[in-house]
Structure 1
Amino acid sequence: MTPANHDLLRNPVKVWDPFVRIFHWSLVGCVLLNQFVLEAGETAHQWAGYIACALVLARVAWGFVGSRHARFADFFPTPGRLSAHLKAVRQGRHPQYLGHNPVAALMMLGLMLLILLLGGSGWLQGTDAFFGEEWLMELHEVLANGLLLAAGLHAAAALVMGRLERVGLVRAMITGVKQSY
């Protein structure tokens, strides 16, 4: 998708459907619970991880059949899209997109991959073949820390880019509507 004309966002534009918004905030909840509230390795921690993986898998399916801006075809970060977006930003321009910009799309896909890798490494720790394997526990911890770092960067970027682009990005993930201010 090409960047939206700035005037297109002067009026409210419905962008994120209820599924995308519920997915997003449910995944945030699972990650925060597992990182800061639930005890690692306990049943609740495992279930929160499984729910997070199920959410990601549902989001992947929604990326093919969901609403316009939820579909991967709308925002998939191809090399051409990434290059054009980064070139514009380097030139001091901040093109607006109705859906994800290419860098945000890359981050979103990376976050979802980290969730699935965490789920897989956590599940493997409970199997007979890998139970008690130190390297796997360390990998799981590194992935968890990487997820937390990436999620923090994602949240900070949404705030900063929202200010630079003059668009309520966080508000849009709550209401589903994007608009310039």
Structure 2
Amino acid sequence: MPAGGAEEPPREPVSLIRKHPKRRPGGPRVLGVNCKNEHFNDPRAHYCAVCGISMLQLTLSPFHGPRPPLGVLLLDDGQAVPLEDDHLIGRRPERAPEVAEGRAHPLRMTDAEESISRRHVLVRLEEWRVTVVDLGSANGTAVRAPGAADFVRLPPDTPAELAPGATVRVGLSRTFRFESNRKV
């Protein structure tokens, strides 16, 4: 009995079972496959995007799981934006309906020439693909494929798939590059 005659309150039992930490919810559920180390991958992948193991020698059973980030956008100002969700790029993207409805995250981009529209280009993730869509901007959006010398202007409202290493020009002078280790 402790000094002063007061009884000590009973102690709560301590569990030695380790609880799993709460996992960060993944992206939308897409059809994919696991490598032998249980990394979730694009079913078209020849090698695991995480550990690099060959996927060709495995008997793959596709299932729906949370899509991991598909890469990053490397902006010409040094900013790196992970691609976990759709992004709307523009001068004032936070006012766009896609952002207000929660379908895309705003990514503000401006230039000295003021050639970037308020709602300029949408970077959309579709299953395991990354696409860009010019939203009818005044000064256009153009894509330069990896290894190509010139940019090709996109027609408005027409999605174009981005390959890892592709560079996108927004307006007259701003650019970003799509990079990913998820090469198919």
TM-score by length of 1: 0.23
Query: Of Structure 1 and Structure 2, which has the larger fraction of its residues in helix?
Result: 1
Which is higher, the Rg of structure 1 or of structure 2? Answer: 2
- If the length of structure 2 is used for normalisation, what is the TM-score? 0.23
Query: Which has the larger strand fraction?
Result: 2
